[in-house]
Amino acid sequence: MKLNIKKDDLVVVIAGEGRDRTKSKRVLKVDREKGRVVVEGVNIQSRATKPNAANPNGGILKREASIHISNVQLLSDGKPTRVGKREEKGKSVRYSKKTDKTI
């Protein structure tokens, strides 16, 4: 699956739960097979854990869960933009469809 979003890109959440929508954050992980991304500080899930060697007190762990890639949009110059691909000097590069700049 060809995706236009990569790890460490800045994206804005355009759909989903009210408190996460319109957040601008960094992509932590991209799952190409499932078409999902993990975005920093978005879709926080809580999980209760028993005490173990890694976490001697146990308790509630919070971590980011993945969201579908169609629910995020790449930021270019601080504004959401659609992404296209084109050939430049024999290489495929991403560009912003709003500003026509290479990303």
Q: How confident is the model at residue 41 (pLDDT cuts 50, 70, 90)?
A: very high
Split into its structural domains, the chain has a count of: 1
pLDDT grade for 18, boundaries at 50, 70 and 90: confident
Pairing of strands 24-31, 79-81: unpaired
Task: Please report whether residue 94 resides in a domain.
Answer: no
**Domain assignment present for 103:** no
For 87, other C-beta atoms within 10 Å of its C-beta total: 8
What's the CA gap between 35 and 84, in Å, rounded?
A: 17
Query: What's the mean per-residue pLDDT of the chain?
Result: 92
Q: Is residue 15 part of a domain?
A: yes
Residue 102 placed within a domain: no
Domain boundaries, position 54 = 10-77
How confident is the model at residue 51, as a pLDDT? 94
What token pair was written down for 71?
A: 């629910």
pLDDT at 80 over 90: yes
Task: Give me the pLDDT at residue 84, please.
Answer: 93
Looking at the domain assignment, is residue 88 inside a domain? no
Average pLDDT rounded to a whole number, residues 1-29: 90
Structural domain includes residue 87: no
Q: Are strands 10-13 and 72-76 parallel, antiparallel or unpaired?
A: antiparallel
101 and 83 Cβ atoms separated by less than 8 Å: no
Tokens found for residue 29: 């992980």
- Angle CA 12–13–14, to nearest 5: 105
